[in-house]
Structure 1
Amino acid sequence: MPNDVKERFQQEVDSLYALFVDTVARNRQLTTDTIRKTEAAIYGFVAVLNHQVF
């Protein structure tokens, strides 16, 4: 895969992670730094259904 395509995918992942962190922080009334420090993983539904997250 060309580097420019990888970079665009990474930018999209980073953007979605930022949205996730902002949403959790707002709804839990915590700072985004606190949320990021948990290093919690985000699992896709396929991995969960296949029990690949345990």
Structure 2
Amino acid sequence: MNDNLSVDEIAILLTSLEYSRQRIRDADGTPLKIRNDELTALEKIAEKLRINKKRLSDP
């Protein structure tokens, strides 16, 4: 079983992360520190996915 993510699956995850980041940015009543911590964590994950996506896309 190949459990590596495909380029298309990574693209879907990146889109999902963008929606998550938008929801966090728009959340009323969330303390700024928690909001920033969550946004930072999601951005780190997104960056790892972008790196892997580029690796898969490059010959």
| Identity of matched residues, % | 7
Alignment of 1:16-27 (within 5 A): 16-27=45-56
Structure 1 segments unaligned to the other structure (5+ residues): 31-54
Instruction: Tell me which of the two structures has the higher relative contact order, counting C-alpha pairs closer than 8 angstroms and 6 or more residues apart.
Output: 2
The root-mean-square deviation of aligned C-alpha atoms, in Å, is 1.4
Structure 2 segments unaligned to the other structure (5+ residues): 1-29
CA distance in 2, matches of 1:15, 1:7: 12
After the TM superposition, which parts of structure 1 deviate over 4 Å for at least 4 consecutive aligned residues? none
As a proportion of its length, which structure holds more helix?
Answer: 2
Corresponding pairs, count? 30
